[in-house]
Each structure stands twice: as C-alpha cells, then as structure tokens.
Amino acid sequence: MSTVDIQGYFIEDLSVGMAAQSERTITGGDIDRFADVTGDVNPIHLDEDYASTTIFKSRIAHGMLTASFISAVIANQLPGPGAIYLSQSLRFKAPVKPGDKVVTRATVTDLKSERRRATLTCECLVGDTVVLDGEAEVMVPSRAA
C-alpha cells in the first residue's frame, strides 16, 4: 500500500461545504454481530417476538451501529485516513430496521486550520427520513507537520 492509498485530505485541502457519503443496507446479521462485539443484547435488537410487542413492532438496529457509519465516512473518505476523532454529538430520531438502506453523509461546516481542526455535520437517512444526526470534530493532518 502506498502513502497515497493511506492518506486522506490534509487540512490545507479541506473547504467548508465539502461532503462525502456512503450507503449500507442493515441486515439482521449486522445487528447480531454488533451485539456480540459490544455485549448490548437488549431484546429490542435481537428478539423478534419481544420486539413485536414494542412501539417499533419489530427488531431495530442499535443506535450506535448506525452511528458507526459516520465513523466510517470520516475515517475512509472525509477527511479520511489520518484523521483523529475528537468529539461526536448524536441525536437519534427514528429507528433503523433490518433491510433498511442507510445513507450516511458528513459535510465540513467549519475549519480551524491553525489548530488542524475540522467540524462536520453528520446525518444518517433511511429514504427521506433523518434517523440520526449530529456533529463531529476531528483533528486533520497537515502537510506542514
């Protein structure tokens, strides 16, 4: 793997308004694996019979599973490899169910070049419904460093 393959944007390359997105369809297996890794075995995520008695009427994905798609966009695309997460706010607005296609977007809203910081608004959508939104602050590599 060359340096070009593993380096994302430098702070000098970013501008307000730059955006990136990804898509992923959630499967029951994704939910099961996330539960295995995290230990979050709430039956709303894992037990269809139990989940059918809730307001959601079926299994739902862990909110943090959906939020992890934001991490992937930041780590892989914008700013990409080399970026370091500093903070993330999240608001969970609607459930994500197995079979839902989640579109995740991150958009640069502020830059503090002297501190190598970028602020990004983040959102996850299923169709036209925002299921999660928030804001991330990341440290971005500089060519000068």
Domains of the chain: which residue ranges?
8-139
pTM: 0.91
Residues 54-106 pLDDT 10s: 999 999 999 999 999 999 999 999 999 999 999 999 999 999 999 999 999 99
* 89/9 Cα distance (integer angstroms): 22
Q: What is the largest CA-CA distance in the chain?
A: 57
CATH superfamily of the 8-139 domain: Hotdog Thioesterase (3.10.129.10)
